[in-house]
Structure 1
Amino acid sequence: MFYVLGEIFMLAYVFSVLAAVGVVAIAALSFRLAGKGSDDHAADGPSAGHAGAMLSALFLLVFAIAIIVPWTTADAARQNTHAESRAAIDAYWAAADLPADAVAPVRTGLRDYVTFVVKDEWPVMGHGEMHAAGSARLDELRARVVELDGGTEDQQEARGAVLDRIGAISAARAQRASDAAATPPEGLLLLTILTGLVVVVFPFLAGARPRGAALLPLAAMAAMLGFGIYLTWDISYAFAGPLAVGPEAFSGALQEFARIAGGV
């Protein structure tokens, strides 16, 4: 089903390109037959100037999308890590009202989970993946709390509160997995590369033959475009590259755990 839809969309893209080229060919033929306009062979003529401006605008549009999409994804991922760590801290606080023999095991489980996320899972997320053991640790911690029976009314309320916080951690973790696997729209990087290459070689396609010092600004532009295109690839994942979201929120949670344990 999805393969067929992908093939249909690909054919639609091809037909749209062919249709646009066909419009240009038909327009050129129609004006020639009608005897309208004048020949334009100059590298700096109106045809080349119009095409160059539109190609530059197209590249800037694609490049902006390729930058903005990962930027917003990384920002949302950063906020989600704070939500997950906050839920872990709230669960750590709520565990204080559990039966006395359950407080330490539950708090240890929370601390071990957050430590695991920082030390073991974060390096894996840089590749767009999640560590399989993370969900198992949460399930084990949830089962440990569910097994708690009896106790006072306050202890039962604390049990429900801890389970609610663990549920919030699990939901935030699922969102973190989605953030880790998120990438810019398919084909966007390829389109960025193609439009960048066309912008670089366009003066030559238009008939210009730059020599000497005229090559310097063209080379500088090509270098900057190359750097920009590399940047769009380097920030594709929220947890890797220059925009990488770090584990600061979880490291802060570990410090908060230590503070709570020392005061409660």
Structure 2
Amino acid sequence: MGWVTVLVVLSVAILLIAFRVLRRKGREDEEHGSSSVDFSVNLALAVYLLVLAYAAVLCRDGLSVAETDVQAEAESLTEMYWAVAPIPEAASVRTQIRQYTAQSVNLDWPLMARSNMSPIPADTLEDMRASVIRLRPADEQGKNLQQDALTRVAEISHARAVRADDARAGLESIFVISMIISGLVVIVLPWTLGVRPTRSSIIADMVRVSVVVIGVCFIMLISHPFNGIGAIPPDALKTAQHQYDQIDAQFPAQP
């Protein structure tokens, strides 16, 4: 959030400096080249709004994909819990599934806001895979459940890798640069006329600056799937934790 504050403060500072300079050195309002400047401002505004809209669509699509990936991981965890629940000697695997889920919520999520992941859940996942491989079911049904559990482990491992990619994802810099450049043109270009500010021009300048700054800040706040106003919470994994309890009621764990 710090860069948002910097952007707002910088924009206000530029606005105040421009008003001060134009008030001291600006000439009286004249119809001198204003038509061409107005055309250029409108063109820059159109480019800015186009980039802004496209960036908003990309950010929203990224959030939707990341949310779907988290839900898929939670579903794989739940299905794996169902798979090992009927196996009497798989109590330790149940514990590891619960540990992995809790570690993902408590350790991964705070770091994912900064595009990182904790190594602890990954270690737990590898131990979980080894525990499933070491199972020795007594009947054919148990062997089928063990194979299903191994398939689910592979799905969870893939889902974790995808979640790591989602945590490192963000809006491409070309869009941010395009928004900033076109926004600056929209803000600064009318000042090139050197006209002394009036009440109406000051209001127009403030509106232009506000539109550009709010647009850029909004895009940046939704550009990361696990940070900002559109951050994806770990609700899907928390729901899986509640489902574990329901599965335990159907298949009580045996020591």
TM-score bracket, shorter-length normalisation:
0.7 to 0.9
What is the TM-score with the length of structure 1 in the denominator?
0.79
Report how far residue 207 of structure 1 moved: 5.2
In the alignment, does 2:44 pair up with 1:44?
no
In the alignment, does 2:191 pair up with 1:201?
no
Comparing 186-195 with 109-118, greater Cα deviation is found at 186-195
Q: Deviations over 1:84-143 (max 9, x none)?
A: 000100000011232x122x1111111111011111111100001111122211111001
Superposition map of 1:1-264 within 5 A: 42-45=32-35, 47-98=36-87, 100-102=88-90, 104-206=91-193, 208-264=195-251
What is the TM-score with the length of structure 2 in the denominator?
0.81
Cα contact 1:95–1:158 (8 A) shared by 2 = yes
Equivalent-residue separation in structure 2 for 1:178 and 1:219 (angstroms): 39
Equivalent-residue separation in structure 1 for 2:144 and 2:246 (angstroms): 24
Report how far residue 216 of structure 1 moved: 1.0
Code of the residue aligned with 2:113 in structure 1: it is G
Report how far residue 165 of structure 1 moved: 0.9
Cα contact 1:43–1:207 (8 A) shared by 2 = no
Report how far residue 232 of structure 1 moved: 2.1
Identity of aligned residues (%): 29
Q: Secondary structure at the match of 2:231?
A: coil
Code of the residue aligned with 1:101 in structure 2: it is E
Cα contact 1:127–1:237 (8 A) shared by 2 = no
- Report the CA distance shift for 1:224/1:173 in structure 2 as closer, same or farther (over 3 A): same
Cα contact 1:180–1:238 (8 A) shared by 2 = yes
CA RMSD of aligned residues (A): 1.6
Q: Which has the higher contact order (CA 8 A, sep 6+)?
A: 2
Comparing 128-137 with 64-73, greater Cα deviation is found at 64-73
Equivalent-residue separation in structure 1 for 2:185 and 2:238 (angstroms): 46
Cα contact 2:85–2:248 (8 A) shared by 1 = no
Cα contact 1:95–1:106 (8 A) shared by 2 = yes
Equivalent-residue separation in structure 1 for 2:151 and 2:167 (angstroms): 24
Report how far residue 209 of structure 1 moved: 4.2
- Report the CA distance shift for 1:217/1:50 in structure 2 as closer, same or farther (over 3 A): closer
Matched pairs, number: 221
- Structure 2 unmatched ranges of 5 or more: 1-30
Equivalent-residue separation in structure 2 for 1:184 and 1:65 (angstroms): 11
Cα contact 1:70–1:236 (8 A) shared by 2 = yes
Equivalent-residue separation in structure 1 for 2:82 and 2:139 (angstroms): 18
- Report the CA distance shift for 1:65/1:170 in structure 2 as closer, same or farther (over 3 A): same
